[in-house]
Structure 1
């Protein structure tokens, strides 16, 4: 291990083993970044030329802030690059997907040939239900192969998928179905977690009430001995739909700017926002970052532990790795079941080379103790990655020392649902600094700025921003042009990410946390407005405000402050009832860990609840300017 003290920032530097930095796709970071800055269009054109298109572009970029069009006039289909190209180019019988469920025998393997056939069959099944180009399909499935198959099948026929995380409740599902205008919903009878089956179908049944666009619900019945009953006038069996379809389904030709998917992310106010990504630019960004950030090689087995219900699962479980012809591990299991060695056992069993996970999981591993990973042979690993929230230095050090054997590179990545691809990390071969994600990757220009958009001095907290367009950038917020424009016009004419950050004198960026009303819990963005709305929908609640409270395991927990209506009294029973109410409404990830009853909530004179005052009081901090506080 090479280590030194950085005299300017007093940050330790670590260097990966020389073998890890040899023959990387990126080569020398500074040279690659300079090539991009000298000719951005040429840089991205070179990446795009790696992929299959049915028609090449007339121009790389048309930029009319805040609107971008990438690879103008180009046509193709992302699933051709994920599947057909691999089948026809020597990877026909290579393993594409390994799925591991709970239990020793619960394993399914798809070669690229088999995955291609399954996707075509389901795509034809969707067509038989009247789904075509531009139609929206909501996918609410656990982490099973059918989730990946459904996503790819939609993309193959030009349908726009919107995937909903399997931990959400009926109200959250309903909002996404109605918001997207879904024609078909794909779900399952249940998921499996820590030895228990968790029913899902009834949540969809509740969610499609007052959802007039839904014509069919496709149900994956995992329980085969006593299958759940289907309402045949609207519900269709997943396997029967597959069986009825041919294994040949031509790709729908897509314009580069045709929508590929809508993915909802929590907003700071109101309903969740539907982020729209398009085929061409997203495809190029996903391919490029998977290949160059993780340095994926032909023989690698790659495991990203994220759920495709989030953007990480879209880009770095499904689309990016499959475009590279990689063997991808997908698991429905949890890190601590059946015991705390589960993840390490899978890494040893499948010979995982690249492991991409969340800081919450890493902190959980630390809590479980070094003796668990020490029991297993982790020598197959060559690249480690982190995603979802800032990786604190203590967790970074443990990940590097215990899992990386003090030699493996760690790519701590910052990006968003809105960016579609990695934006900041430490490219393999570059010095690594615990607590700092790294620098802008070649292809993007990320900066830390003040309120006027000027670069913040080194060591000064500022807003994280992106100065130039990039291919995988969102094209709009569904049905909310004003909100989309707000990303680009809040600070001059640059993209404001909503995060606070510090840049050191070497250009390394440390992401501190959100600057808006989002709470990151176990790597998941939870909108304060959604939780507050769920609480207020309870008959006993008059008003509610929620804040994020630091937690050593989850990063943050949700604490709620609640005022009650006349006739209701605070009690432990009511606390439990409110927590359960949020669970049923939004799902377990949005449940408050703490509830405090209050007579009043701090407000401005215009009636807006001042969450920062609540947070400051909770953490023993200075609440700042209180001049607008209502007396």
Structure 2
């Protein structure tokens, strides 16, 4: 596959400047230095980013997997890194779905964080206490995330779309002392009232206190206090480099959610590193990533963006309400320089056509970003052509909550291939390994990281055994991430889907994204999901669940055409056994398709944790489709 984007102003990037300071002109040599000489690399990086310490660290990395230590002997508070910029510079801009806009300069943010930390202290929150943050992506979300860290407590971001039980599981597991909730917000013009759910969650979890951010003006009950009503400014606690500041819970297929533990000198540094060296985010730039506080990319954008002196744009509404161009209007209004969207969200915006995009001035945009899942070719090319105007790079970015950012990305010094990654992130020694743990090129294998990196989770909250089994259970001493990937001969990586999603038909292994990309060549499909189900002869057969574009009708003939598209691209052995048309696919709030839920619903199995789903009604539609004979090729 040929490149689609080529470097134009490489010498102006932060990455190039750092490389030059270290005496490198080639990214490959620089990257080898970053993983082979971490002491020199991280000292140079910290100098480049001008990140201050209260007490200098001794060594950047000590020990190996599974429990290395980072920046030993160092003391800091992450708010030192995020609030140190010129007081008059714009730090945060928040717009609600109905168009209300608020903002804070760095000077205002610094004072407000100290005051909110005082408010938390007045509520009895102390160093090490856990604080639930059940808020949409708003000014208050950023303020209380920072205030919790400022005080030395531990934040638990909770997805704003959860119900009471999902929130309670996380609060109870963490033994949260306080829950901060926004009483509600607008979503597609409708009031979403969180306060009632928060009261139920508090009772279920046994959380002591409730602090309420009043957006809808819902009346408070006894024992509930309005946020922002009290608190004197307090100084930030001095903390050790690996003192935890945040637990982010990830959903699992079975059992309780996993609480990934992040620390002061880890998550914020990894976010800043990746934003600076992959996305080329600079002081004064404006970062807009469409996400939620409860997903990793919410805290990642806030902490990484602020650490670099950028302006972080926060939005808590739908991307296409009240009109299809809402997202592009936000880019224009706030002069975003960096825009991050998931592939599924791009697919959802394509049916509106190009006009909503072209009706807005996107000239401020310099870099596009994407994460969350593998791309299909058609939406990737649409994003590059229509939004990127065939000149803005798409920084494809893959890692995860446990990584604090990316394992793979795109550096702006190398050509970018469609849907691919042209490099591991600096400081990450990534490889594709076969079943015997040997590095391979040109064939599908497990994506792995061979050495520890600052930002990797300290483990799962009070569940060491599960952490060890999840990442070190396949190949001892190697972090196996759970993605199937391919590394081509030119050094470009391609993610093919989760390894537990991977299909094996008659001995041939294929990623679901490959099947979906092939199927999406048919003009009738808006999006699709491929799963594997048991087959008496092949071992596993491919089923494809497809959502049609407006103007197309489901029929056996259309199912046959779609199946033939896959056979034409991948060969007859990988032709889907069935193509089933459904009105929607189960997705998270950040538009990630949940294939495991699709498979479980089809097979009539327990789908596991569904708390992250925005559209649980899609699950029932899949069950009904499974019972129907329609769509069988």
What range describes the TM-score normalised by the shorter chain of this pair? 0.7 to 0.9
2:231 is equivalent to residue 245 of structure 1 = yes
Q: Distance in 2 between matches of 1:479 and 1:549?
A: 38
Q: Deviation digits for residues 57-115 of structure 1, max 9, x if unmatched?
A: 122211242111000010000011111x11xxxx10111111111234x1101111111
The 3-state SS of whatever aligns with 2:205 is coil
1:273 alignment counterpart: 258
Distance 2:545 2:27 in 1: 37
Q: What are the superposed Cα offsets for residues 461-508 of structure 1, whole Å, 9 maximum, x if unpaired?
A: 111111111100001111111111121232232111111111111121
1:285 aligns with 2:286: no
3-state SS in 2 of match to 1:334: coil
TM-score (norm 1): 0.80
Answering whether residue 213 of structure 2 is matched by residue 220 of structure 1, we say yes
Q: Deviations over 1:393-423 (max 9, x none)?
A: 2222111111111111110000100100222
Q: State the distance in 2 between where 1:620 and 1:275 align.
A: 42
The equivalent of 1:199 in structure 2 is 193
Contact between 1:168 and 1:589, CA under 8 Å: does it hold in 2? no
Deviations along 1:177-233, one digit per CA (max 9) or x if unpaired, are 001110000002112111111110111111122423x1110011113xxx322222x
Q: How many angstroms apart in 2 are the aligned matches of 1:590 and 1:102?
A: 23
Could you say which residue in structure 2 is the equivalent of 1:156? 150
Match of 1:14 in 2: 4
Cα offset for 1:365?
2.2
* Pairs within 5 Å for 1:507-526: 507-516=491-500
Correspondence 1:103 to 2:98: yes
Pairwise mapping of residues 345-424 of structure 1 onto structure 2 (< 5 A)?
345-424=329-408
Structure 2 CA distance for aligned equivalents of residues 117 and 420 of structure 1 = 27
Q: How far, CA to CA, are the matches of 2:447 and 2:546 in structure 1? A: 21
Q: 1:303 to 1:596 in 2, by over 3 A?
A: closer
Q: Is the 8 A contact 1:169 1:586 kept in 2?
A: no
Q: Is the 8 A contact 1:409 1:429 kept in 2?
A: no
User: In structure 1, what is the equivalent of residue 467 of structure 2?
Assistant: 484
Name which of 408, 411, 427 aligns with 1:443. 427
> Gapped runs of 5+ residues in structure 2?
17-25, 503-511, 517-530, 532-542, 549-584, 586-590
Q: Any idea what the Cα deviations from partners look like across 1:363-416, whole Å, max 9, x if unmatched? A: 122221111111112111111111111122222211111111111111000010
Contact 2:130-2:156 within 8 A present in 1 as well? yes
Shift of residue 315 of structure 1?
A: 1.1
| Counterpart in the other structure of 1:626 | none
**CA distance 1:439–1:587, change in 2 (3 Å):** closer
Distance 1:562 1:512 in 2: 23
Aligned equivalents of 2:546, 2:483: Cα separation in 1: 16
TM-aligned CA distance change 1:466 to 1:139, over 3 Å: same
Q: Are 1:259 and 2:244 an aligned pair?
A: yes
Match of 1:475 in 2: 458
CA separation of 1:346/1:586 partners in 2, compared to 1, >3 Å: closer, same or farther? closer
1:190–1:201 Cα contact (<8 Å) kept: yes
Q: Which residue of 2 aligns with 1:571?
A: none
Contact 2:89 2:284 in 1 (8 A): no
Deviation for aligned residue 1:596: 6.0
| 2:319 aligned partner | 335
The runs of 5 or more residues in structure 1 that have no matched partner are: 1-10, 522-527, 529-546, 565-577, 599-613, 622-631
**Count of aligned positions:** 539
Q: Among 24, 32, 35, which residue is 2:33 paired with?
A: 35
- Tell me if 1:143 matches 2:137: yes
Where does 1:480-559 land on structure 2 (aligned, <5 Å)? 480-486=463-469, 487-516=471-500, 549=545, 556=593, 558-559=597-598
TM-score by length of 2: 0.80
The CA RMSD measured in Å over matched residues stands at 2.9
